[in-house]
Copies of this chain bind each other. A is one copy, B any other.
C-alpha cells in the first residue's frame, strides 16, 4: 500500500478487492467531485473449447508499485483530478475473478474518462505483470497484444 499523494492509492495484492469499499474511499475524499469513472478488468474464459480455467499473475514486486505510482503521477500532470485508485491482483485467479481496478474522480467527466483510460492503457504496457493461462490442454504465457502498444503509444504522439 503506497500513498502516492494524499488522495491516491496504489495497491498490489493477492486478495480480492471490493468496488464498494473503493468507492467509499473516493466519496470521503470528494471535494467538488462531479464525476467518478471505474474500470474493472476480469479473467475471461476466452473460448468454450478448452476454456481458461485459471490465470496466474506474476509480477516484479520491487518494481510494480513504483511503475504504477509513476503512471499516477503522469496522469496528475496531464489532468486536474480529485483522487486516483489502482489495485492490481497477483497470484492464481479463477475465471470471472477481478484482476484490476482503476478509479478516477474529478470535477468534470472528461478528465475522469481520459485519466482512467490513460492509466489502463499504460498499465497494460508499462507495469511489470505477466499472465499465464491454465487450460485443460496445458499452461501458456499470454502474448502481449500489439493493440495494447498502439493504445499506449497514442498518449505520447501529440
Q: Closest B residue to A51 by CB, please name it.
A: B32
Give the shortest distance, in Å, between A136 (CB) and chain B (any CB). 17
User: What's the Cα separation between A113 and B43 when bound, in Å?
Assistant: 18
Instruction: Work out how many copies of this chain go into the complex.
Output: 2
Give the shortest distance, in Å, between A17 (CB) and chain B (any CB). 12
Is A23 positioned at the interface, with any CB of B under 8 Å from its CB? Answer: yes
User: What's the Cα separation between A107 and B42 when bound, in Å?
Assistant: 9
Q: Is there an interface contact between A120 and B116, defined as CB atoms closer than 8 Å? A: no
State the main secondary structure of chain A at its contact with B. mixed
- A-B contact sample (20 more), CB < 8 A, given A34-B44, A38-B40, A113-B117: A18-B20, A20-B23, A23-B40, A27-B96, A30-B96, A33-B42, A34-B42, A35-B40, A36-B39, A36-B40, A37-B37, A37-B38, A38-B38, A39-B109, A39-B112, A109-B120, A110-B147, A110-B151, A113-B116, A113-B120
Which residues of A approach B to under 8 Å, CB–CB? 18-20, 23, 27, 30, 32-46, 96, 107, 109-110, 112-113, 116-117, 120, 147, 151
